[in-house]
Amino acid sequence: MASVIATEPALEPSSGARQVARRLSADRGAVFGLVVVLVFVLAAVFAPLITAISGYGPYEYDLAALDDTGAPRGFGGGISREHWFGVEPLTGRDLFAVVIYGARTSLLVGVAATVVSVVLGVLIGIVAGYFGGWADRVLSRATDVVFGFPGLIFMIAVGAIIPPWFPKSLLIIVVIGFFGWPAIARVVRGQTLVLKQRNYVVASLAAGASATHLLFRQILPNLAATIIVFATISIPGKIGAEAALSFLGVGVPPPTPAWGRSIGEAINWVQTDPMFLFFPGAALFLVTLAFNLAGDGLRDALDPRSEGAGR
Amino acid sequence: MRVARFLGGRLIGMIIVLLIITFITYAIFYVLPSNPAQLSCGRPCTPDRLAQAKTFMGYDHPWWQQFLQYTRGIFFGRTFGAGPAAIDCSAPCFGYSFRLSTPVTQLILDRIPVTFSIAIGAAILWLVLGVSTGVISALRRGTAIDRLLMSISMAGVSAPAYLVGLLGILLFGFTLNMVPIGGYVPLTESPVDWLWHLILPWCVLAFINAAIYTRLTRGQMLEVMTEDYIRTARAKGLSETRTIGRHALRNVLIPVATVFGLDLGGLLGGAVITEKVFSMQGLGALLLDAVGNLDLPVIVGVTLFSAFVIILANFVVDVSYGVLDPRARTGTR
């Protein structure tokens, strides 16, 4: 099992930031990905400003835009000069505002959950790799247990029994983040095994450096490239997990806009108002695609082995 | 002998993980936050009736005794209450839904055909699709075919299953009217209708999942093709088909088998999203219903059942490692 990930080479930061930037900018997919990610981040940060310009906030219910059955009036789910993406059926919320504010939810949960799994994974991986022995054995057992848990099923189930006073969004971040740590722990463990044999680490050890110094001053900085790449690559999965939970109705609670929930609600409108599915769906797809492309590009740029296609 | 020890070791490992997972799940769901007796006691809930419900369900004991009772129930079955009103829950007893007046095991068994039909059909489709496109892509590296396949697989990796599913329903169900828009017909009732209702879910899941296999297979294939034994095989004068089929593919399939086992196991434990999109009453739908009604025994039962399926799948993967890769048997990797 470890062979999938553990054979990945130790990424060296020695490539130099300028070189990495040069390789990255030559990769059209990665550039596209980074630009799209940037656009979504800006949209999320400046959401209040953008919706002030577009005219409707995410919590304004324009019932006049709906007909008697609750379906949006007019073409394409009520697309008009006032409602750029149309409106939400039944509520009359401006879909543009929902999509823009949905970016906040998705990015916040995606990035925060990634931070949770990276912090856990790096700590556990580096300790297991450096100390070996029983620490390592406990880690591999724990990994087995986490891999044995049905992640999505478990997230749904936990959401049901958590007391109402506990903030749901925080729960989602913690649970999604928790299921992500074993993968990064494995990679970090594998690289720590290699790095602790390096001369500079051995030399520091001989000079009497403490384990903390070795772990966090000698080994951790050399893991930076790997960690950055891994974090970027795992963000889209976390965004997808949040969207899936919201889609199933157990994610971020309404009325906070979330793309997944909009898509879930769109099931009942798919025939009469396909645009209600299209806009949140396109946003989710685009941001996931962008992170995937950026992550792939970043990995290739930081890994000199993969340069020039032929090995 | 060595094979027996390998199998035995894995089996013990599997049982330990199972017990830990049962314990954690049980602890989280039964002991920590909520009170199942309170939930099922009804209104008005007098202290008397609450105590009665607690005794009946077995919640009047300390938590570790409850856990032991629950675990014993899985292996040997158990009885809720006593006297004429007692409810018998035979092994494997994953609990009893007092809301539906049915053993959880029965509820799960009723839903298994739906979920397994979705999962197994889709898995076969995506494995074949993913591995073959991955091999083609690797062998035609850098050509237009490679670029096209990699672009499609990038889209597949990035698109959420429910989005593709809904688009599929919109296009093939509503607009072209080719396939039903949802529902499930048992295989025993009508094999044709069964197939007809499953085609779209299979294709959707295959499209999403095959993408990962395409990328994984391609990467592995590129790496394997540079190995010495491939050069040797070619130098021996083996045909290219034989070199790839017998020597390269065998090594490519080892990591693919790992991912496949995990993915299939996860899906067998409840295809929650697919079932919701295509309105099929499988394990995932059972769980979502239970979550909506706070039917705790069902929530725990389904969670545990799907954990068991995943761990079993892991075990099968470990064993198939031994078949695919003799080095794994001795542990000299």
Residues of B in contact with A157 (CB under 8 A): 29, 287, 291, 299-300, 302-303
Q: Are B151 and A296 in contact (CB under 8 A)?
A: no
**B19 part of contact set with chain A, CB < 8 Å:** no
Q: Are residues B152 and B27 in the same domain?
A: no
Rounded percentage of chain A residues whose pLDDT exceeds 90: 14
Give CA–CA dist B251/B150, Å, rounded.
Answer: 21
* Residue A5 domain flag: no
Which tens digits make up the pLDDT trace of A138-171?
A: 887 788 788 777 888 888 888 777 777 788 888 8
Give the model's pLDDT for residue A305. Answer: 54
Q: Which of A272, A252, A273, A276 is nearest to A263 (CA)?
A: A276
Tell me: ipTM over 0.90.
no
Best probe of the B interface among A36, A156, A174, by most B CBs < 10 A, is: A156
Helix/strand/coil for B62: coil
**B45 part of contact set with chain A, CB < 8 Å:** no
CATH of the domain at A136: 1.10.3720.10
Which tens digits make up the pLDDT trace of B37-95?
A: 666 555 566 777 667 766 766 666 777 777 888 888 888 877 776 666 677 777 788 88
Output the tens digit of pLDDT for each of chain A's 311 residues: 334 444 444 455 445 777 778 887 888 888 999 999 999 999 889 888 888 787 777 777 777 777 777 777 777 676 777 777 878 777 778 888 888 898 998 999 999 999 999 999 999 888 888 888 888 888 877 887 887 778 888 888 887 777 777 888 888 899 899 988 888 888 888 888 888 888 888 888 888 888 888 888 888 888 888 888 888 888 998 998 999 888 888 888 888 888 988 888 888 887 788 888 888 999 999 999 999 998 888 888 876 554 433 32
Q: Average pLDDT per run of 10 along chain B, which is 333 residues long?
A: 76 84 80 58 65 69 78 80 70 80 88 90 92 89 87 86 86 80 80 86 90 88 83 82 80 83 82 88 89 83 88 82 66 44
* Residue B97 domain flag: no
* Residue A210 domain flag: yes
Distance from CA of A209 to the nearest CA of B (A): 33
Q: Are residues B50 and B136 in the same domain?
A: no
Q: Are residues B113 and B80 in the same domain?
A: no
Provide the β-strand partners of residue B97: B102
Question: And the tokens for A142?
Answer: 């724990």
Looking at chain B from residue 178 to 197, which residues have their Cβ under 8 Å from any Cβ of chain A? none
* Residue B311 domain flag: yes
CATH of the domain at B322: 1.10.3720.10
Cβ contact B158–A292 (<8 Å): yes
Tell me which residue range forms the domain holding B52.
2-88
Give the model's pLDDT for residue A288. Answer: 92
As for how many domains chain A has, the answer is: 1
Best probe of the B interface among A8, A137, A143, A152, by most B CBs < 10 A, is: A152
Q: Are residues B59 and B16 in the same domain?
A: yes
**B129 part of contact set with chain A, CB < 8 Å:** no
Residue A285, class by beta-carbon neighbours within 10 Å (0-12 exposed, 13-18 middle, 19+ buried)?
middle
Cβ contact B273–A250 (<8 Å): no
End-of-domain residue from the set B57, B88, B119:
B88
Tell me which residue range forms the domain holding A202.
27-309
Q: Are residues B117 and B23 in the same domain?
A: no
- The reported pTM is 0.83
